[in-house]
Amino acid sequence: MTVRQNSLKQFVFSSEEDLETSSNPTWLSLNSIIINASQPRHYFDSQKLKELTESIIKYGVLEPLLVRPLRNDSKQYELVAGERRYRAAKQAGLTQVPVTIRSLSDREALTMSLVENLQREDLNPVEETEGILQLLSFHLDITVDEVIANLYRMRNESSGMVSQNVLTNEAGKTIQSVFQSLGLLSWESFITSRLPLLKLPSDILEALRQGQIAYTKAMAIAKIKELNPRKTLLTQAIEENLSLSQIREKIKQLKEPSSLTESESLSPQKTLDDLNTKLKKSKIWKDSGKWKKLQTLLKKIDTLLEEDS
């Protein structure tokens, strides 16, 4: 178990007795376990799920699933943590899996499910961001929007913009304690690098949720404000697995003005008239250097006209 996982385990279980209880699994039929619709994780990498399935076929389920008994049915259990193992076990054709059974309230179950997901190294940044916000929401007993508002107030106070004593009040201390316990990133980094994700365009946010594109690439593509060019580049980046440097180059090309100037889109007569007007106004012949360059160009034009005559 890694230091990160151990820290999260300690965060979930309140005592050594709980930890010991969790390491003594029993066996349940897969048919007796149901998945809660409010499970925080919704997307699973198909390739990694396939790899886990193959591992389970060979070695079995090495880590027990966490379940809780349903109050209205003593023979049914709700999955709290381990949905990926549950899915892989089904695909592997198992009929039973090792589980740890704990009596948990709805709040406790969802909190444990969130923490279990947050310990995963492959959790995409959107799910991780939303999971942390939900966890803070439970601990503070306020809405996610209120959590975000508190975080921004903490940042403003930390930077000296305001003096509200947010960092030292109960909510501020709880937020700092949760981030320290999770050991994922600091609350300051979370505000800077993760909260902006929630403001991304819906198409990019969805691609991130499904793990189709890396965080840095998504943030780069999001800088394109026009919908159609952004969607086109997003699709191309996913299908062709473009590197970040390739994406930046394409964005640069999008920002460059079209090679077709306004004068080129006008009629030939209008173009010539406009050019003649500009030449007279500029009085370019007064600058000997520019006049020599213009004479060279005029000779080329004259030659071109003679070829056409």
In this predicted model, what pLDDT tens digit does every residue of 110-167 receive, in sequence order?
778 877 777 765 677 888 888 889 889 988 999 999 999 999 999 988 887 766 677 7
Identify the weakest region by mean pLDDT among 3-7, 62-66, 93-97, 207-211.
3-7
Average pLDDT score, the chain: 81
Range of the domain at 242: 200-255
- What pLDDT does 302 receive? 75
Phi, psi of 287 (to 5 degrees): -105, 105
Contact in structure between 218 and 208 (CB atoms under 8 Å): yes
Which domain CATH number covers 24? Answer: 3.90.1530.30
Share of the chain above pLDDT 90, in %: 32
Residue 206 and residue 193 share a domain: no
Structure-model confidence comparison of residues 45 and 250, the more confident one: 250
Residue 208 and residue 143 share a domain: no
Identity of the amino acid at 196: P
d(CA 119, CA 107): 19
- Asked whether the predicted pLDDT for residue 10 surpasses 60, the reply is no
Mean pLDDT confidence for 75-100: 92
- Of 197, 222, 246, the residue that ends a domain is 197
- What pLDDT does 27 receive? 93
Has residue 168 been placed in a domain? yes
Has residue 112 been placed in a domain? no
Rounded (5°) CA angle 186-187-189: 65
Residue 74 and residue 49 share a domain: yes
Residue 207 and residue 175 share a domain: no
Residues in the chain, how many?
A: 309
3-state SS, 170-202, equals HHHHHHHHHHHHHCCCCHHHHHHHHHHHHHCCH
Residue 88 and residue 20 share a domain: yes
Q: Note the maximum CA span of the chain.
A: 100
Residue 89 and residue 144 share a domain: no
| Element spanning 145, H or E | helix 144-158
Residue 83 and residue 19 share a domain: yes
Sign of the torsion formed by the C-alpha atoms of 237, 238, 239 and 240: positive
- Asked whether the predicted pLDDT for residue 272 surpasses 70, the reply is yes
d(CA 113, CA 81): 5
Residue 94 and residue 15 share a domain: yes
Q: pLDDT-derived band of residue 14, with 50, 70 and 90 as boundaries?
A: very low
- What pLDDT does 159 receive? 80
- pTM of the shown model: 0.62
3-class SS shares of the chain: helix, strand, coil, % to 5: 65, 10, 30
- What pLDDT does 258 receive? 52
Structure-model confidence comparison of residues 14 and 224, the more confident one: 224
- Of 106, 134, 164, the residue that ends a domain is 106
Residue 136 and residue 222 share a domain: no
Mean pLDDT confidence for 233-246: 93
Residue 168 and residue 179 share a domain: yes
The top-scoring range by mean pLDDT among 102-106, 228-232, 255-259 is 228-232
Residue 131 and residue 101 share a domain: no
For 194-232, the pLDDT digits (tens) are: 999 888 999 999 898 888 888 889 999 998 988 899 999
Q: In total, how many domains does the chain have?
A: 3
d(CA 189, CA 172): 15
Has residue 19 been placed in a domain? yes
Residue 88 and residue 17 share a domain: yes
d(CA 195, CA 16): 35
Query: What order do you get walking across the sheet with 33-35 strand by strand?
Result: 26-29, 96-101, 65-70, 73-81, 33-35
d(CA 89, CA 63): 12
Has residue 283 been placed in a domain? no
For 16-35, the pLDDT digits (tens) are: 334 334 456 789 999 999 88
